[in-house]
Amino acid sequence: MQIEAPCVVTLTWTLCDARNQPLDALQSPVEFLVGGNDLLARVEEALAGHVPGDEVRVQLEPEHAFGEYKAELVCFEDRKLFPEQLEAGMAFEGLPAGAATPGMPADIIYLVSEIYPSHVVLDGNHPLAGMALRLSIRVVDVREATEAEISAGSVGGEGPLALLVAPDVARTGDDTLH
């Protein structure tokens, strides 16, 4: 069966930066819905027409992946607003109660990038924002999507690293990640 939306593809991949430095390798096959919300639009376009066994290479510029890096999505908040056991890399949905930075989006994920005795640096950018990416994909299987998968817009759950879960930038041109 050829890849044509809507269908479910089983993939493995290797993700590299523009210098071919590996960022992620999905070695165990995972299913994704083509024509839903599971994959970036450019990845779906590149996969169209391929069959199991094919290898596909995709170059993704930031505007077609996770958006440009936006310095305005970085903020500093009082250390007292966070749990004592705080570590760099922890993620929070929205800003903590009592946050003092005006104009920050409330509906995005913020990663703790730095911790100081008096404040915490939060970054609302996707970790791969601003990066050109090279994706080498192997198509393991293709099957028809079920009605439930089509209705849900997803095979279910998030990808292994939520790496190829399509942010709105890939679908609408809005480069705000939700």
CATH number of the domain enclosing 167: 3.10.50.40
pLDDT of residue 156: 77
d(CA 100, CA 104): 9
Pairing state between β 119-123 and 109-115: antiparallel
Per-residue pLDDT, 107: 87
For the segment 55-77, the average pLDDT, to the nearest whole number, is: 95
Q: How large is the average pLDDT for residues 22-36? A: 92
The tokens describing 2, both together, are: 């050829």
- Count of domains observed in the chain: 2
For position 79, what pLDDT does the model report?
96
Region 134-138: what's the mean pLDDT? Answer: 97
Q: Give me the residues paired with residue 143 across strands.
A: 8
Q: 178 lies in a domain?
A: no
Residue 1 inside a domain? The answer is no
Give domain status of residue 13, yes or no.
yes
pLDDT of 171? 33
Both 101 and 50 in one domain: the answer is no
Q: Are residues 61 and 15 in the same domain?
A: yes
Indicate if 26 and 47 belong to the same structural domain. yes
Contact (CB, 8 A) for 20 and 150: no
Listed in sequence order, the residues at least 6 apart from 5 whose beta carbon sits closer than 8 Å to its beta carbon are 34, 35, 44, 48
Q: How confident is the model at residue 73 (pLDDT cuts 50, 70, 90)?
A: very high
Question: In this structure, are 13 and 57 located in the same domain?
Answer: yes
For residue 100, being part of any structural domain is answered with yes
Do 62 and 149 fall into the same domain? yes
What is the pLDDT at residue 106?
85
- For residues 168 and 84, the model is more confident at 84
Tens of pLDDT along 91-116?
999 999 989 898 899 889 999 999 99
Provide, rounded to the nearest whole percent, the portion of the chain with pLDDT above 90. Answer: 80
How crowded is residue 48: how many other Cβ atoms within 10 Å of its Cβ? 12
Q: If you average pLDDT over every residue of the chain, what do you get?
A: 87
On the question of pLDDT at 124 being above 80, the answer is yes
Cβ atoms of 151 and 37 closer than 8 Å: no
CATH of residue 80's domain is 2.40.10
DSSP string, 4-29: -SSEEEEEEEEEEETT--EEEEEEEE
Q: Which pLDDT belongs to residue 170? A: 33
For 93, other C-beta atoms within 10 Å of its C-beta total 9
Residue 34 lies in a domain: yes
107 and 155 housed in the same domain: no
Contact between 113 and 73 under an 8 Å Cβ cutoff? The reply is: no
Look up the domain containing 95 and give its range. 71-123
Determine, yes or no, domain membership for 98. Answer: yes
- Does residue 166 form part of some domain? yes
- Shared-domain flag, residues 134 and 59: yes
Q: What is the pLDDT of residues 145-169, one digit of tens each?
A: 999 999 999 997 554 334 444 344 3
Please, which residues bridge with residue 135 across strands? 15, 58
